[in-house]
Amino acid sequence: MGRQKRWRVKSPNALLQKIMSAELGISNILAQLLINRGIYTVEQARAFLGGELDRLFSPWLMKDMDKAVERILLARQNNEVVLVYGDYDVDGITGTTILLLALRKLGCNATCYIPHRLEEGYGLNQEALGKAYDQGVSLVVTVDCGISGVEEVAAASLMGLDIVITDHHEPPEILPVAVAVLDPKRHDCPYPFKELAGVGVAMKLIQALFQQAGLGPREWEAYLDLVCLGTVADIVPLQGENRIIVKHGLSKINTTSRPGLQALIKISGLRKDSFGTRELGFGLAPRLNAAGRMGDATLGVELLLATDPQVAEEMAERLNKGNQERQQVEAKVLAEALALLENNPNMVQGKAIVLASSNWHPGVIGIVASRLVDRFYRPVL
């Protein structure tokens, strides 16, 4: 039932090769490799090959950054309870962790909330916001979600709950009326790099907060290990700022002093000195993701926050078990899906494949769908 692959080979661009190799002192082959990756100017190539941290853009270029920073520092001054409202994937888990750590470093009274994948689903929900308000929260800062929460934000502000949104998803036509809406994909956001992960947007907020609060200019770099992990796991293009984050983050992971990350590396059977994006994407990320897929992602945040190595190892062990469980459930669902297709060959004849079963665990249907995409080369719902 498989399909043949169709290779589309790019033809070399001799002129651009010549310009780049002359300007940058690189070979024609390297120049063409850069061109193949969508790098068409000498300036872009220089950034790609250099990738130093000082090439990151100023966080203040992001629309609403000033409003977000002002509101959060006001919360610190008034000793308000600030809730970081995240997401259950690795991008959301790492982003929630770094923002929580950064707010606490600033002296904020901060806590976090990650919605339950199966019981609540993705994004802001009114019940969770209502509960937070009842527990004394007066400011919510989202990570990796919220841009499509127009109704939820409106209901929250009626209650008297302020919301700062940080997200990287495509915004809807009508933005939520929040205190601040940070999202480089906002049409009116002049931030030059649009492909940050959710954890990357959280990092920009931390940079601005630390600068405004007078912390050292390199303090935010302490979070680069987690920013790198979330960025790789979210499969955003590794170009521009993402490439710089990953380049510097990988070496931070090698030397991380975070007990949770150390425990996760150990249980994944990875050697620290051989770290690349593959090890992050296929070793660490699935284990961290397992918590959210099978139930509650809060364990992922707790692991990354852990300060006691022994507690961290126990949590990593639980995540590893969860990941094995996820693999078994996934294999079963995949087998059932394939059997369904085999018994109904007409289902693979169309332009897309649509499958359903009430037996299938919602936490793994996305992964199974992408396995079927790899096999049948067409969209799978």
In the complex, minimum distance from the CB of residue 295 to Mn ion, in angstroms, rounded to a whole number: 20
Stretch that binds Mn ion, among 13-21, 139-147, 185-193, 294-302 (CB under 5 A): 139-147
Do 175 and 151 contact (CB within 8 A), yes or no? Answer: no
Q: How many residues bind Mn ion (CB under 5 A)?
A: 4
Closest CB to Mn ion among 17 and 277? 277
In the complex, minimum distance from the CB of residue 293 to Mn ion, in angstroms, rounded to a whole number: 15
In the complex, minimum distance from the CB of residue 223 to Mn ion, in angstroms, rounded to a whole number: 16
198 binds Mn ion (CB under 5 A): yes
Q: What are phi and psi of 48, to 5 degrees?
A: -65, -45
Stretch that binds Mn ion, among 38-46, 233-241, 263-271, 309-317 (CB under 5 A): 233-241
Do 355 and 340 contact (CB within 8 A), yes or no? Answer: yes
Enumerate residues 52-91 that contact Mn ion by CB under 5 A. 91
In the complex, minimum distance from the CB of residue 183 to Mn ion, in angstroms, rounded to a whole number: 11
Closest CB to Mn ion among 238 and 270? 238
Closest CB to Mn ion among 95 and 322? 95
Q: Are strands 162-166 and 137-142 parallel, antiparallel or unpaired?
A: parallel
Of the candidates 217, 7, 202, 215, the residue with the CA atom closest to the CA atom of residue 110? 202
Per-residue binding letters, 257-296, with Mn ion (x by CB under 5 A) = ----------------------------------------
Which ranges in 255-308 belong to alpha helices (H)? Answer: 259-267, 277-279, 285-294, 298-305
Give the number of C-alpha atoms closer than 13 A to the C-alpha of residue 250, restricted to the C-beta side. 18
Q: What's the CA gap between 36 and 9, in Å, rounded?
A: 10
234 binds Mn ion (CB under 5 A): yes
Closest CB to Mn ion among 86 and 198? 198
DSSP string, 228-252: HHHHHHTT----HHHHHHHHHHHHH
Q: How far is CA 356 from the centre of its chain?
A: 28
In the complex, minimum distance from the CB of residue 297 to Mn ion, in angstroms, rounded to a whole number: 13
Stretch that binds Mn ion, among 37-45, 78-86, 137-145, 173-181 (CB under 5 A): 137-145
The first and second tokens of residue 147, run together, are 């841009």
* Radius of gyration of the chain measured on its C-alpha atoms: 22
Of the candidates 105, 135, 102, 226, the residue with the CA atom closest to the CA atom of residue 113? 135
330 binds Mn ion (CB under 5 A): no
In the complex, minimum distance from the CB of residue 224 to Mn ion, in angstroms, rounded to a whole number: 18
Q: What are phi and psi of 140, to 5 degrees?
A: -115, 130
In the complex, minimum distance from the CB of residue 146 to Mn ion, in angstroms, rounded to a whole number: 12
Enumerate residues 142-161 that contact Mn ion by CB under 5 A. 144
Closest CB to Mn ion among 93 and 365? 93
Q: How far is CA 308 from the centre of its chain?
A: 25
Closest CB to Mn ion among 149 and 259? 149
In the complex, minimum distance from the CB of residue 186 to Mn ion, in angstroms, rounded to a whole number: 16
- In one-letter notation, the amino acid at residue 38 is G
Q: Which residues bind Mn ion (CB under 5 A)?
A: 91, 144, 198, 234
